Amino acid sequence: MSGITAPKLPPDVIEALAWLQQRQASARVVILFQIGSFGDALQLTPLVRELRQKFPQHLLVLVHESPLAQVVVEDSQHIDHVIRLAGEFHNQLANSSDLEELVDLVVVCRYVIAYRVTGCGRRALGADDQRFIAAAQEVQKPWLPFVERFPFDNDELWRRAAQGGDSMYTLMATTAGFPEVDFEEFYLPLRERDFDKARLLPPAYVTISNAAETLPPHEGGWTKCLSRGKIAETVRRLRGLHLYVVQLGTREDPPIPGVDRDLRGETSLKEAAAVLQKALVNVGPEGGIVNLARAVRTPSVVFFGSTPAEFFAMRANVNILPQQCGGCWWVTPRYLHQCPRFMLDPECTESIRVEEIIGAAEVIVGKRLHRV
């Protein structure tokens, strides 16, 4: 394998190829590439489950840039190994000539799922697998032009999908070759010890967040989140319903005034998931914590700003859309922390009505308390 020692490959790519080479003699491999945060890794879990069933004799290897991707899949029994690799190096690994002889199938996940059978796979995959992949590739083909400049063509992608009645979840399912599977069914296995923080909370509480999971706050406001005043009013109104309010997030997330318990930075990913599982309802912007709540089957009231509800909204949640503007996802590279219209307080999130958030949360809480 001359490519492993070629100086043009970064050390991390060389290390990944070396790991794959060590397994070549003992196992066939399907390798999946995805960039993003832990929320994106959760979106991948339905696909991983289906691929495990489709290729039961293969090692499934996930290449991801998020350090939390390993946590998302570590107990799933579907992914065999995670290679952590910065997104800028994914194409170099995926297109390496050495990879052609180390894995059978390359899967690239950019909302559109793309399959590529390698030279090794053409010799090793059975006829049924080859037919499945070929059929999926026919569905993928018209969508591939929309991910050539990923992520800079995401705006065109979601608008084209919405025109055809597709959400992100149905687009992933159909292009992956599993059109009948519900790709909104994220999952995250939890263990008893993950509930230690949740057990310290009152028996009835709601969770709230107001941050985009990957941006440091010093870069500016987040165009998918509420203003400080509006999120504080949301907490005040929730507490007015005699609800105990718990904030989740990272230590770097801005504090939300008025919460009863601030757990920012005090939980692991799975401890946060356990807190969410015991919550009556979760309130927050589209993103990772909402995805985490979905994985443990807690309904969310989700407010949308820059990210389009037409693409990301899930049926199990109550989705609060802006009254004005919105949906500027990847219109500009800085869309998430600078309004493309250069508004200090983006019109989209400013147009969201707190009354609508509170009304939706109150209905969910009432139903769940009545059920208990």
pLDDT at 219 over 60: no
Q: Are residues 365 and 278 in the same domain?
A: yes
Instruction: Please tell me the predicted confidence (pLDDT) of residue 212.
Output: 75
Q: Are residues 199 and 329 in the same domain?
A: yes
Single residue among 121, 148, 176 that ends a domain in this structure: 176
The answer to whether the beta carbons of residues 253 and 264 sit under 8 Å apart is: yes
Q: Has residue 237 been placed in a domain? A: yes
Q: How many domains does the chain have?
A: 2
Instruction: Tell me the average pLDDT across 79-102.
Output: 93
CA torsion through residues 170, 174, 175, 181, sign: positive
Per residue in 336-353, pLDDT (tens digit) is 989 999 998 899 999 999
What is the 3 state secondary structure string of 257-313? Answer: CCCCEECCCCCCHHHHHHHHHHCCCEEEECCHHHHHHHHCCCCEEEECCCCCHHHHC
Per residue in 230-256, pLDDT (tens digit) is 999 999 999 999 999 999 999 989 999
Q: Has residue 208 been placed in a domain? A: yes
Instruction: Please tell me the predicted confidence (pLDDT) of residue 76.
Output: 80
Q: Are residues 205 and 324 in the same domain?
A: yes
The answer to whether the beta carbons of residues 348 and 325 sit under 8 Å apart is: yes
- Cβ neighbours for 94, distance < 8 A, ≥ 6 positions apart: 33, 106, 108
Instruction: Please tell me the predicted confidence (pLDDT) of residue 4.
Output: 47
Q: Are residues 246 and 106 in the same domain?
A: no
Spatial strand order of the sheet with 300-303 comes to 261-262, 244-247, 205-208, 282-285, 300-303, 318-320
The answer to whether the beta carbons of residues 304 and 286 sit under 8 Å apart is: yes
Cα–Cα dist 195/173, whole Å: 32
Instruction: Tell me the average pLDDT across 316-323.
Output: 97
pLDDT band for 215, please (50, 70, 90 cuts): low
User: Hey, is 177 helix, strand or coil?
Assistant: coil
Q: Are residues 23 and 86 in the same domain?
A: yes
List the CATH number of the domain containing 367.
Answer: 3.40.50.2000
Quote the DSSP letter at residue 102. Answer: T
Distances (CA, A) of 111 to 63, 153, 275: 16, 11, 28
User: Hey, is 39 helix, strand or coil?
Assistant: helix
Per residue in 53-86, pLDDT (tens digit) is 999 999 999 999 999 999 998 888 899 999 999 9
Cα–Cα dist 142/123, whole Å: 27
Q: Are residues 142 and 199 in the same domain?
A: no
Q: Has residue 110 been placed in a domain? A: yes
Single residue among 144, 176, 208 that ends a domain in this structure: 176
Q: Are residues 172 and 221 in the same domain?
A: no
Rg (CA), the chain: 21
Q: Are residues 202 and 344 in the same domain?
A: yes
Q: Are residues 156 and 199 in the same domain?
A: no
Tokens read off for 349: 């999130």
Q: Of the candidates 100, 75, 74, 91, which has an alpha carbon nearest to the alpha carbon of residue 21?
A: 100
Is the pTM higher than 0.75? The answer reads: yes
Tokens read off for 131: 């037919």
Q: Are residues 233 and 345 in the same domain?
A: yes
Cα–Cα dist 342/338, whole Å: 7
Q: Are residues 45 and 73 in the same domain?
A: yes
pLDDT at 111 over 60: yes
Tokens read off for 320: 């609060």
Q: Give the distance between the most distant pair of CA atoms in the chain.
A: 67
Q: Of the candidates 333, 343, 89, which has an alpha carbon nearest to the alpha carbon of residue 221?
A: 343
Q: What is the mean pLDDT of the chain?
A: 93
Q: Has residue 286 been placed in a domain? A: yes
pLDDT at 2 over 80: no
Q: Has residue 184 been placed in a domain? A: no
Q: What are phi and psi of 211, to 5 degrees?
A: -150, 150
Range(s) of the domain holding residue 150: 2-176
Q: Are residues 107 and 247 in the same domain?
A: no
Q: Which residue has the higher pLDDT, 45 or 370?
A: 45
Per residue in 279-301, pLDDT (tens digit) is 999 999 999 999 999 999 999 99
Q: Has residue 214 been placed in a domain? A: yes
Within 10 A of 36 (CB to CB), how many other CB atoms are there?
21
Quote the DSSP letter at residue 198. Answer: G
Q: Has residue 187 been placed in a domain? A: no
Instruction: Tell me the average pLDDT across 131-152.
Output: 97
In the chain, what percentage of residues exceed pLDDT 70? 95
Q: Of the candidates 76, 65, 73, 168, which has an alpha carbon nearest to the alpha carbon of residue 113?
A: 168
Q: Which stretches of 34-96 are DSSP H helices?
A: 38-54, 69-73, 90-94
Q: Has residue 186 been placed in a domain? A: no
Per residue in 151-199, pLDDT (tens digit) is 999 999 999 999 999 999 999 999 999 999 999 999 999 999 999 999 9
Single residue among 176, 207, 242 that ends a domain in this structure: 176
pLDDT at 325 over 50: yes
- Cβ neighbours for 235, distance < 8 A, ≥ 6 positions apart: 208, 245, 256, 257, 258, 259
The separation between CA 250 and the C-alpha centre of its own chain, rounded to angstroms, equals 16
